[in-house]
């Protein structure tokens, strides 16, 4: 048996910020005072916040130590299904921190913003080309805000057609943000059961589609990692009753250059730049969720829009049918820069990205299907789903398998999602991982399957190596302590 990749090492305890410091210390270089103090009505003045006073080294050590308790993509394989934890290219950071971009005020006159506007315009074109849906907004600040924008477009479209519709069809495999976004727009989420084979059947959609349904939200490939084979029939059924098709593009990493979303009948699609397009996850954000639509839906896109006139770029607000604004300015421009850099670095190779992502997932699927139960034994796309069915007889659950993987030096895959599969383990390796890394991961998973048989408590007690063991989430929720 090979040596486990996870091992012990010296990391440090570190108190909370306000448990450190001493009044009068500072970590900031205060600019020189060259003006007098101006009077201010006492009634408006407060005491100032009770922040600790720390020296520069206090701050540096604090966050350095904290970072050592974390696991990132740079630490090791991070196969979170539906999250696309691919490598975040470092050159992206160099581009985002160019002073001309990082120091730019969003309301600068157009003559002084041409570089940024050109970048946004060209990025719109590239994303339109990649998705097959040519009209693009870069404004939404995250995937779920992109979904909200999509639902606003549904609502505006139907209102414009003179009939408000109240329902949206959502497959039971959908990500939780789908029904939440629909509800925010006043739609009732109507669940559609997926078939035995894990994909939508046209019959089940036809049974529910009517003229009070605004449309359907589909993720393709779906959250089981399966291509929705019947998608053209499904979109036809929805369109025939005057509905629209929303595409959740979270799984775009499987189909770049391979599927044309416009062709298969999608009207509105959002992308997750922090997934498919390599921008960093940052511990939970910021993301970016551009929305790409058909020419028919273009009038409804948020404003302002970036337009090109001759050789110059400008911002245009004159779109009377626009749904409005979802972000104070133009979206997460800092994230757009990184995406732009990535697309320029990859070009047509984005198709290779998808091909290798799918190859990696299938390789894992075939290698582990003897050790773990595979509910859908058919070719998968960029992710595959296993369950804990074989381990249940040893009283080992998906949760235990995930926690033990940490000791082996891997971030666990997505667990207990999608909800339609009991005990789901969703593995998405991405194209970034080499064959050696995948082989070591497969080895670790096989070892864990053996441990489940021979030493189930090894899994129940896991993880052993990280800074903390399993945490009491019940106590955290019963008596919430949300600040110190």
Partner 1 sequence: MKAISDLNLPEDVRYTDDHEWAKKTGDIVRMGISDYAQDQLGDIVFVELPAVGGTFDKGEEFGTVESVKAVSELYMPIGGEVTAINETLADEPERVNSDPYNGGWMMDIKAGDPAELNALKSRAAYLEMLKG
Partner 2 sequence: MRYLPHTQKDIQQMLQVVGAADLDALFSSIPDDCCRKEEMNLPEPLTEWELNAHMDNLAAGMGASPAYKVFMGAGSYHHYIPEIIRQLLLRSEFFTAYTPYQPEISQGTLQTIYEYQTLVTRLLGMDVANASMYDGASGLAEALLMAIRVSRRKKVAVSRAVHPLYRKVVETYLAPTDFEVVTLPVGADGRTDLSGLKDLGELAGVALQSPNFFGCIEELEAAGKTIHADEKTLFVTAFSEPLAYGLLKHPGACGADIACGEGQSFGIPQSFGGPGLGMFAAKQKYVRAMPGRLIGKTVDRDGKTGFVLTLATREQHIRREKATSNICSNQGLCATASTMYMAAMGGTGIRKLSRLNRDRAEYLRASLAKAGFASPFKAPTFNEFVVRFPKGFADTWQTLLEKKIVAGLCLAPYYPELSDCWLMCVTETISKNEIDTLVKEVTQ
**Window 386-445: residues binding partner 2 (CB under 8 A):** 402-403, 406, 411-412, 417, 431-435
* Burial category of 321 from C-beta neighbours within 10 Å (exposed 0-12, middle 13-18, buried 19 and up): middle
Query: What's the rounded Cα separation, in Å, for the pair 104 and 100?
Result: 6
478 touches partner 1 (CB under 8 A): yes
349 touches partner 2 (CB under 8 A): yes
Q: Which is nearer to partner 2, 1 or 40 (CB)?
A: 40
Least distance between partner 2 and beta carbon 394 (Å): 21
Report what 229 binds from partner 2, partner 1, none; CB cut-off 5-8 Å by kind.
partner 2
Least distance between partner 2 and beta carbon 195 (Å): 15
Q: Rounded to the nearest 5 degrees, what angle is found at the Cα of 361, between the Cα atoms of 357 and 364? A: 140
Site string for partner 1, 407-436 (x = CB under 8 A): ---------x--------------------
Least distance between partner 1 and beta carbon 426 (Å): 17
Q: Which is nearer to partner 2, 371 or 453 (CB)?
A: 371
Q: Give the gyration radius of the chain's Cα atoms.
A: 25
Query: What's the rounded Cα separation, in Å, for the pair 332 and 340?
Result: 12
Site string for partner 1, 149-188 (x = CB under 8 A): ----------------------------------------
Q: Binding residue for partner 1 (CB under 8 A) from 28, 40, 107, 477?
A: 477
373 touches partner 2 (CB under 8 A): no
Q: Which is nearer to partner 2, 131 or 391 (CB)?
A: 131
Locate all alpha helices (DSSP H) within 198-249, ordered by sequence.
202-208, 231-240
**CB of 354 within 8 A of CB of 258?**
yes
Least distance between partner 2 and beta carbon 302 (Å): 8
User: Of 164, 135, 129, whose CA–CA distance to 149 is shortest?
Assistant: 135
**Please, which of residues 128-147 interact with partner 1 by CB under 8 A?**
none
Query: What's the rounded Cα separation, in Å, for the pair 377 and 99?
Result: 51
Q: Which is nearer to partner 1, 350 or 415 (CB)?
A: 415
Least distance between partner 1 and beta carbon 415 (Å): 11
User: Of 201, 196, 205, 199, whose CA–CA distance to 224 is shortest?
Assistant: 199
Least distance between partner 2 and beta carbon 30 (Å): 6
User: Of 357, 351, 355, 352, whose CA–CA distance to 429 is shortest?
Assistant: 357
Q: Binding residue for partner 2 (CB under 8 A) from 124, 133, 135, 143?
A: 143
156-163 long-range Cβ contacts below 8 angstroms, 24+ apart:
156/300, 156/321, 156/323, 157/244, 157/297, 157/300, 158/214, 160/300, 160/321, 161/242, 163/211
Stretch that binds partner 2, among 202-210, 352-360, 384-392, 448-456 (CB under 8 A): 352-360
Query: What's the rounded Cα separation, in Å, for the pair 194 and 173?
Result: 7
Q: Binding residue for partner 2 (CB under 8 A) from 355, 390, 443, 458?
A: 355
Instruction: Compute φ and ψ for 426, nearest 5 degrees.
Output: -105, 115
Q: Rounded to the nearest 5 degrees, what angle is found at the Cα of 124, between the Cα atoms of 120 and 129? A: 150
DSSP-derived pairing of the beta strands 188-192 and 167-171 = parallel
Q: Binding residue for partner 2 (CB under 8 A) from 163, 193, 325, 453?
A: 325
Query: What's the rounded Cα separation, in Å, for the pair 308 and 56?
Result: 46
98 touches partner 2 (CB under 8 A): yes
User: Of 403, 64, 209, 372, whose CA–CA distance to 218 is shortest?
Assistant: 209
Contacts with partner 2 by CB under 8 A: the residue count is: 200
**Please, which of residues 247-266 interact with partner 2 by CB under 8 A?**
256-260, 263-264
**Please, which of residues 159-188 interact with partner 2 by CB under 8 A?**
175-177, 179-186, 188
* Burial category of 304 from C-beta neighbours within 10 Å (exposed 0-12, middle 13-18, buried 19 and up): middle
Ramachandran bin of 265, using left for φ above 0, alpha for ψ from -120 to 50, beta for the remaining angles: left
Stretch that binds partner 1, among 81-89, 296-304, 443-451, 472-480 (CB under 8 A): 472-480
Stretch that binds partner 2, among 74-82, 390-398, 421-429, 447-455 (CB under 8 A): 74-82
Least distance between partner 1 and beta carbon 479 (Å): 9
Report what 318 binds from partner 1, partner 2, none; CB cut-off 5-8 Å by kind.
none
Stretch that binds partner 2, among 47-55, 237-245, 290-298, 447-455 (CB under 8 A): 47-55
Query: What's the rounded Cα separation, in Å, for the pair 170 and 193?
Result: 9
Query: What's the rounded Cα separation, in Å, for the pair 205 and 193?
Result: 9
473 touches partner 1 (CB under 8 A): yes
**Please, which of residues 212-231 interact with partner 2 by CB under 8 A?**
227, 229, 231
- The residues binding partner 1 (CB under 8 A) are 416, 473-474, 477-478
């Amino acid at each position: 048996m090979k040596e486990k990749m996870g091992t012990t090492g010296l990391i440090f305890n570190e108190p909370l910020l306000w448990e450190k410091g001493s009044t009068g210390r500072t970590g900031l270089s205060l600019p020189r005072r060259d003006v007098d103090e101006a009077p201010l009505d006492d009634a408006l003045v407060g005491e100032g916040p009770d922040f600790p006073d720390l020296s520069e080294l206090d701050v540096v050590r604090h966050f350095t130590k904290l970072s050592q308790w974390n696991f990132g993509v740079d630490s090791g394989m991070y196969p979170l299904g539906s999250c696309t934890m691919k490598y975040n290219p470092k050159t992206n950071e160099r581009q985002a921190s160019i002073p001309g971009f990082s120091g730019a005020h969003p309301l600068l006159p157009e003559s002084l913003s041409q570089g940024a506007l050109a970048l946004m315009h060209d990025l719109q074109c590239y994303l339109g080309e990649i998705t097959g849906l040519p009209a693009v907004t870069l404004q939404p600040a995250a995937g779920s805000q992109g979904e909200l924008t999509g639902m606003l477009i549904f609502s505006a479209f139907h209102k414009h057609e003179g009939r408000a519709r109240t329902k949206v069809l959502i497959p039971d495999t959908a990500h939780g943000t789908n029904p939440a976004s629909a509800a925010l727009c006043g739609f009732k989420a109507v669940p559609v059961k997926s078939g035995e084979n894990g994909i939508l059947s046209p019959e089940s959609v036809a049974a529910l589609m009517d003229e009070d349904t605004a449309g359907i939200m589909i993720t393709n490939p779906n959250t089981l990692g399966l291509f929705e084979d019947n998608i053209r029939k499904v979109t036809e059924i929805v369109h025939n009753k005057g509905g629209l098709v929303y595409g959740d593009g979270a799984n775009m990493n499987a189909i770049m250059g391979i599927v044309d979303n416009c062709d298969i009948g999608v009207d509105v699609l959002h992308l997750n730049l922090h997934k498919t397009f390599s921008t960093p996850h940052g511990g939970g954000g910021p993301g970016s969720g551009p929305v790409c639509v058909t020419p028919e839906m273009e009038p409804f896109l948020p404003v302002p829009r970036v337009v090109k006139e001759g050789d110059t770029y400008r911002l245009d607000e004159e779109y009377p049918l626009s749904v409005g604004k979802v972000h104070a300015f133009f979206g997460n421009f800092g994230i757009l820069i990184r995406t732009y850099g990535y697309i320029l670095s990859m070009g047509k190779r984005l198709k290779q990205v998808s091909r290798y992502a799918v190859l990696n997932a299938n390789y894992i699927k075939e290698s582990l299907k003897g050790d773990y139960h595979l509910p859908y034994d058919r070719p998968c796309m960029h992710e595959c789903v296993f369950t804990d069915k074989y381990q249940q007889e040893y009283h080992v659950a998906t949760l235990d398998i995930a926690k033990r993987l940490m000791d082996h030096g891997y971030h666990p895959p997505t667990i207990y999602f999608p909800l339609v599969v009991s005990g789901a383990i969703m593995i998405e390796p991405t194209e970034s991982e080499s064959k050696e890394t995948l082989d070591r991961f497969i080895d670790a998973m096989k070892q864990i399957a053996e441990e489940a048989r021979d030493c189930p408590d090894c899994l129940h007690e896991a993880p052993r190596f990280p800074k903390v063991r399993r945490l009491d989430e019940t106590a955290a929720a019963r008596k919430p302590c949300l600040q110190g």
